[in-house]
Structure 1
């Protein structure tokens, strides 16, 4: 039980002394400082409310007088009337006081549950009114009930501390002193004497500065000091303060429960120092005083039960009254809303009727326009889709039709170049012929690449690769072109980069070949660098930068914004520069596929620098690279009997010579039907099957063959993009695909892969 219940109300002029910034109340250790606030509040109201406020003041004074006279039942009735009346007026100030008075009565009759509810309501309304005078008392009362009734010590400490913080520096010193004493008492009860000592020093300081005219009960402060001295084994000072405290407590009407605390704590001190006689004597006195307190509490039990029943009735009445008030307010609000809505609706209706016809006509006209525009857009979309489809089909068809004759030109020129019986003049002519054919083939491939790159699968095929060797090989492939233009090729490779990295070698090669080829095209008697820089590394990954720099003509400022666009060319259309303007567009797309971006710096007549960064995984060992090397087929000739299904005579000649050069014999079939018939009569080690043939194409021929021969490998020959025909060929039963025009090494490796 707490030393103070700061929510006890002592009302009116006979008890409260109000002088400037001080008021005092001295009756017993339960102090209340309250009513003067009511009188101040009532003067601040408007004149029409004066009589109602005066009624509330009278009700509060009556309730408090009855509580002091120990007529708790009647006191609670008047407190309820205060709450009910204040609720009708919507007066939060009196609601906070009314609920505080109700909680105080319930606390004194040990109805802690209802006391807690009403203290919390009082706190709610006190915070709404920002009543800084009343708030410390409400917080102190709430802390008391949490401590005594709920044994919720942490919440009790929280509210005591809030009350102390609000009361500190307030001219009404009791607002600070009462919760401060209770806070110290709580810390001591929880055996937290170090924390209690801090606040006890504050209490001593306050006590020494307060005049006797406004001094609160000293018994509590002496008792707290005595407990602190006893805890610190300062027995002499402890006894002195116990004696001073008892001077106040010996009055039977003063604070009966205070004597019990006195005897208990002094008995504990004597027990601690081994004075068992005095300790036992104090325990006897404690038992006698507790019996008196118990008898007093028991006398309130019946009244408490009756009070709790009455509280339930009061709460029901309050709830009913609140519902009635809320209902009336809702009805009033609804009536106002109905009037407002009706008036507004009439005005809006007039406006709607006025504008409806105009709006209807305007809407109809707009709908007709939109319908017409939608038809136009739909037709334009259909045309665009049709044009896109025709474009893709045209590019695919043209590339196929161009590749077929180029296959013959490249193949025959290669065969003738391998023939030693030719003059130097013929050799030069053949080299020129082959160069032109290769250039045309590269042009076809680039056009097809641009057309298909957006629809390709973005998956990278990464294998362990020696980036240094790859860079060397790429530069070496440009030595002839570079020498023709008197350029110097330089490889600058940082050897701190791990030897083996997981790279899509095909895509990186294509990017670097395009960049270096572009640099050679615009550089004469200059230098071209391929740099491989190390940006960062850790145990598993490495970040590198690939740069291609030249000392060529550079890029004009007005052309920098669109050099990566398809078919764009640097310089005048009359410049003698070969190219389609597709290289950098392909580079940009491929670099994006690899998860990076291409950047460049350029100054006219000084040169250009293109670069991009890649984060690559480090290959853990040489095993994968060794396995790749082992899987590469030998360059030795292969002895195999091969059926070639090809309708083009030139392609037959080229393919036959290529097979002869790698040691294979072959039989030609003009179409798919011939191939099926020949295979029924003879056995072959492998079949090279052209896809596009008259009478029966290669796919249908493969389906026919697989009905009676499921073992002979069938390799598709096609001038189309492999991605376009791959699924169809595999579904038909083909084992592999190879692009035309064929070269000897690719053909040898493919045959060796499938020939056992």
Structure 2
């Protein structure tokens, strides 16, 4: 849930600067720089993010030149607050923490506590790390109590109460709320009364004082409308909807949920946010520029030292020694290759015969693997499901290394199975690219988040650079594109330790509405030998294992190569042992705003969260029945389970359900036979096949017997409920 926090920034009036001010030929006094820093804070308060970003850049330029730690910390705090308002929370945290470092250098408790307050809010309300967030807020509260700053004390306690209420710890948050209520008239500004009334409504709802709860929520709505505070008003709509749903007033809860969704969409679509995001990139470029200048200064010093005669003589001797060593190595290589060629000529015929045998063995192996993977999915569904149930029902096991290892191993096994099936599908031309609208930056951010576990284990840092000339929304098969990037990115992280993995996206050509974008994944890992560069694209092949056992099937890069062929593209690789590897490829994506809007408008929206359905589960496996039943009942749906197709048919003679989840591979009567009989009985209830078979293998058969859709096990719960809701709505 998006929240508006009380960002601690100092607001003063002053002169106005344009977006692009030349700082090369102007000099400002510290008083003028401080005035501009205050202007940046005021523009942030007015939601003029573009001007706030630009002014903060100028302040940073002069502050670094003057080595003024206070101004640096203050500007970083403002930049972080801008990013927080733009929902770029990771960037906001990064700049807040930079500001905290310089605030400590400046020994300025005031700016340090601005940042502590902002970090507390963002960790509580956006990152959901309440323990860390409340610790930052408590640190700020101690400072304000020491300085007897009553206004800041009230605001901070309001935030802490809000944080506790967010995680349903109402008793812990109650003392803070009572304090704010007692001092609100004197120290709380009118805009903040909206949130105060929301919190009062939440607490009254918790203690079942429904008249007071309703009155508080309605007062918050009236204040939000009067103050024209859209963000607080959207929060009020959402919390009031949650309360109404809790007390059983579903119609009114739905009405306020619609108001919340509409207002949230208006806020997100604000055009000035988009323009400010582009300006924000320049702030990061300044950071990179400062790093480059620092490195350049070091290189200048090194070049000057090399001019000394003694070092030149030593270098000359070293070069002569290297040349002599290379000559000797070339001679030894010549002798070795001469002898090796003789042996290769003699064994070439034997290798041809051996390759033929290996090809036949590989064909038989692929056929066996394709068959056995279908059988592995069913028990794997049970393992993943039971693991998730244990984590949900026993919160004390959430940090158990054994349970987390079990969950990781099960998902890793599923990944291996999917890789094997994926390569077979591609080779049999069963994959067709689809047109979907997507944002490259969003896709890359999700991929990096999903792979952060590998990066952390290998102590790697990740760098991303995306050409700002690339349009925000493109059209193409984002799923296949993401699969390509995930395989290359995960490989780079696995084969890199204590290093850096970089991702670059560059627009290189525009042809009509086709935008040709070059992607590069660069790492500083172990590298690949020249003789192995072509082998890495062979199935079931891995190079560079030696002393380290890298996990994997050897299918990642072959899948990348074949998926790129679907895009009419190829992948190239450059590598040097001990220094790293670069994979690059180019894909043309379509840019058509009108077509993009049509795709977005055709996306089905699930509005059935507040409805309840009755579900019948048919599965002969006890563990799978349990997992599916728990998943469905967690959604508060009613669920009944049977162990065979015959039992399902008998039950349906006297009972009605909203949807049927049917296993395929069952003894006596399989899912196809049971579905055919159910349709013959005149029952039109939607039937969803839950199966371990690949979807394209059974689609034709499933449709012919009257099934409505197919979900492959193991599956994610949101996908299951989305299919259920869509089928029921169509019916």
Rg comparison, structure with higher value: 1
TM norm structure 1: 0.47
